[in-house]
Structure 1
Amino acid sequence: MAGPKSGAYAIAAVPLLFIGTLLGFVIVGDEDSCVSTVAAGVSVTIDPGSVPQTEIAGYGHEQLVNAAHVIQAGKDEGLTVRDQTIGVMTAMGESSLRNIDYGDWETGGVINPDGSRTTSIGLFQQQDGWGTREERLDPYVTSTKFFQEMIQKVPDRDSLEPTIVAHRTQVNADPYHYERYWAPAVQIVEGLTGAQTGLGGASPAVCGGSLVPGEISAAGWALPNTGPVTSPYGPRIHPIYGTLRFHAGIDLAAGCDAPIWSIQDGVVVGRGFDRGGNGYIKIDHGAGIASRYLHMYDSGMFVNVGDKVTAGQQIGLEGSSGESTGCHLHFEVHINGDTVDPDLFMRQVGVPLG
């Protein structure tokens, strides 16, 4: 419960002859090019009455049945598998997927901003304003109410970190409260539906195609992307906030879904969304040198923390997540923890940008 209330390449491919159509989701891809995943914009389904007596990610049968109700409510609202997984994650963070008839007041004496006692119950610990007691204790109905609120409050949710989507929907105290539940939520959704969602970390090659290798210079360096420079390193008027801010990288715009490459061999040390909602990947190249790539969507990040990458390896797709006004790559170079001008650095290694 969360206080008052008002996201490396795969090793093995999954055969296309999957029981996806029986379960109600769409599978794309083939055995040679990528792991089969649920197609973008598609939902998954699971009959709550068919949930087996099993355990997934430490959650038992009763909890998994409740998760199935969340998944089905999301499907019936026409939402994507990412949205459905956010619903499961939120219920995990609120009630541990248990349909409990008490909440924050009873367990911690939590009050609303106006001083009244909280009345949180059910999977999502919803208060009186969400519906009747019976509605809030019905797993399917309460999940539907959550998703309807999410649709209304967070229209830009595809570009936001899952925990931020949940926070904006629930209006809880800590926007990062749900973060630790994302990975087990993905496990539960995939375990119940049999789907490969592509949400659990590293994403495979874009299905229906293959990764595009970058060109590597004689000195072993590669361009991060082929777009022209649209905003240089240094002070500038921020395009969203309209205030003078230091631009810690350089912007390159090759177009939505254009490939992004690692500039050098290295190890992925960061992947996810920062507090501005910017999807990012950070790579440590050794000798104090690191590179950072911003504004990818979750589905457009192809490596995970701990993965070893090579120069010119495609690590993602150009997107517009977070503090962005259009598809582009914000590219940074760090030396001993400090940012430097990426244009100057890349010229020095023989690979000029733009």
Structure 2
Amino acid sequence: MGSLTIDNVRKRYGRTEVLKGIDIDVTDGEFIILVGPSGCGKSTLLSMIAGLETISDGEVRIDGQRVNDRGPKDRDIAMVFQSYALYPNMNVRQNIEFGLEMRGVAKDERRRIVERVAETLQMGDLLERRPGQLSGGQRQRVAMGRAMAREPAVFLFDEPLSNLDAKLRVEMRTEIKELHRRTGTTTVYVTHDQIEAMTLGDRIAVMKDGEIQQLGTPQEVYDEPANRFVAGFMGSPSMNFIKCRLEGAGDGVTAVAEANTGPLRLPLPAERCNGLTGRIGDEIILGLRPEQITAQGDADGAKEDVHVASCEVELTEPTGPDTLLFFHINGERVVGRTRPEHAPGPGETLPLAFNLSRAVVFCPNTAERLA
């Protein structure tokens, strides 16, 4: 295992700065996710860790050793790409051991390593096949096996599941998580898929425009987003953003909006009101996850934090385990969830329970979180 330090790393192409001072400390054995939309700089950062891109400013350290000027082969890393990059004229065994052979590893040792890797990835019966005889998932396992054979200090994954179909992505996600559990190797994983980020990572770095917007555990990023971008990017369907006006009486703060059935008054719990009492009368953005808006019959959360209001449901989408509800507040489409047995028909007015225990408040001007 090995630690990884990314210290104020910047990348410039001419006058264009694409990475703007990235700081991440990855501890031994940690699984870190770099997630964000296309063009945010996550793959560029991974390439700089790998030594495939030069670093304009800052340092990358592996196990405390500065590696800025070292080539990829001297950094004790192994990388798995989106494309499998297998040698088509070699069988699986030869693909896995090729790098070991180039490093001068003895034949008996190469055989031992290949057998260990094949057992770990459950592909012992594939060793004599060529890549053209394998499925996409099997090819990705071979690419992972080739990286594992190096026994690196750090694994780097660059969107390894993007070429797989939905069912296979779920299966490979589980395999990657199990692989990390067994090997304990420090891992940096790049993806644009927030489901992969939530299920795989010990911590997630959410990136936008070359900067880290938030770094935290999956639950921290989901429940306590630092700003509106993070809140909207993480979660499917994404968080609802409702324009409200703050009203207050005593120590209480209420978010007031206009639903399609009339005024909607949502009293915020005390723990969600820090710093809001000075904003009475101001406009704010109230963030609620779809699972926080349900039919009254299947509301969760503490009773005092659930507020019931009737809204006209305009559209429903069955997903199997639950049904999505679509309605409008202040002209914005809002999404809720409910159990199929509680799902109304389009055009029906339904009592909805708004669970405010995890409501998030954002500034409408800066998009930063207020409370």
TM, length-normalised to structure 2: 0.31
The structure whose residues are more often strand, as a share, is 2
